[in-house]
């Protein structure tokens, strides 16, 4: 049997301290949470994370949002070398494009860089000078 997951809406009243943060930085939804059972036609019982242990586990369907599983959201952490402070070093894979941006009367050369552990849609534009100094193997003239 497959499990159904959903997001739980927690920001319903402005200015009310809910779930550890106040104001516009407070989360609108938490989750995804697993739906344990359906109670009646409009209520569901959820399995909540330990941080929400003081909250009742039954919610109206208006408080729930559908969770769509997207495999691109999952990061393969096996191949990452994580530092002590839980960060990692980005490594470029290849240069996808080159462009010259004109600022006033000065041209700045930019290159579109594809990074390891990222998809093509997440490629970024970087200055060619910086990339040439860090990765000279990509710029063999």
Chain segment 17-36, per-residue pLDDT in tens:
455 555 666 677 777 888 88
Tell me the whole-structure pTM to 2 decimals: 0.44
| Tens digit of each residue's pLDDT (9 = 90 or more) over 87-113 | 767 777 888 888 998 888 888 889 998
In the chain, the DSSP E strands lie at 5-9, 29-39, 43-47, 58-60, 64-66, 92-103, 106-115, 124-127
Q: What are phi and psi of 41, to 5 degrees?
A: -100, -15
**CATH fold for the domain made of 92-138:** OB fold (Dihydrolipoamide Acetyltransferase, E2P) (2.40.50)
In the chain, which segments carry CATH 2.40.50? 92-138
Phi, psi angles (nearest 5°) of residue 96: -95, -35
Instruction: Say what the pLDDT of residue 63 is.
Output: 85
124: nearest Cα among 94, 104, 102, 100: 94
């Amino acid at each position: 049997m497959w499990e159904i997951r959903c997001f739980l809406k927690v920001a319903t009243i402005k200015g009310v301290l809910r779930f550890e943060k106040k104001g516009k930085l407070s989360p609108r939804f938490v989750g995804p949470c697993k739906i344990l059972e359906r109670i009646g036609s409009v209520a569901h019982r959820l399995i909540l994370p330990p941080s929400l242990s003081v909250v009742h586990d039954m919610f109206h369907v208006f408080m729930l949002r559908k969770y769509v599983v997207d495999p691109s959201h999952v990061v393969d952490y096996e191949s990452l070398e994580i530092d002590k402070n839980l960060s990692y070093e980005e490594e470029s894979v290849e240069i996808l494009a080159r462009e010259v941006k004109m600022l006033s009367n000065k041209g700045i050369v930019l290159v579109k860089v594809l990074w390891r552990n990222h998809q093509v849609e997440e490629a970024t534009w970087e200055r060619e000078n910086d990339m040439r100094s860090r990765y000279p193997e990509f710029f063999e003239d």
